[in-house]
Amino acid sequence: MSQRYRNQPVFKPQEQLSFDQIEKEYHTYYCAVCGAIALVTSIKLDELLLRRSDNAYILECDQHYHKKFLSKQTKFTVIHRETGVEKQYRWRCKECQGVVGYQTYEYEDTDIIVGPGSASGKNQQQMQEDRDNRKHFYLKSNALVKNAEDSELLIQAKEFREQMSR
């Protein structure tokens, strides 16, 4: 195992994380519309690069551990870009069905944790060889919030409660 990966948070991909581990080493994000849990990652979203075409965060699947609490769209969506046609396999919030992110290759894994060393992750040599063919999970820039309290639904609920108490 390379030095680089040794410094990353360690857990076995199939293992259930304890709440303490999640709190300490991982970043949890919630749907910006309804506040449902959406994603846990080993990297902060604001540390990720942005995709030029739509400003989506680029999460490199083989580089960072992440788990999606999202549902797959049944069919891909076709997007017309200046560079051509793009197929988007979208991931939606399980509660409100809002689009949170997408990938441009077919769905493969389901609910498993993905990252370096995991079943669908790659070792460093494979990653070097595959440099031009990395798998990306794109996250819409305003789809997630760091605190569920910042979601539209909970902000509205709070405003409503304040109005009622006047």
Binding-site ranges for Zn ion (CB under 5 A): 31, 33-34, 36, 93, 95-96, 98
Read off the tokens for 87.
Answer: 């197929």
Q: Based on CB atoms, which residue is closest to Zn ion, 40 or 115?
A: 40
**Where are the strands (E) in the chain, listed by range?**
27-31, 37-41, 57-60, 66-68, 70-72, 77-81, 84-93, 99-103, 136-139, 144-145
CA dist., res. 149 & res. 47, Å (int): 22
Minimum distance from CB of 133 to Zn ion (Å)?
32
Closest approach, Cβ 35 to Zn ion, in A, equals 7
Of 101 and 121, nearer to Zn ion (C-beta) is 101
For residue 50, give the DSSP letter: B
When the beta carbons of 43 and 148 are compared against Zn ion, the nearer one is 148
CB of 153 to Zn ion, least distance (A): 8
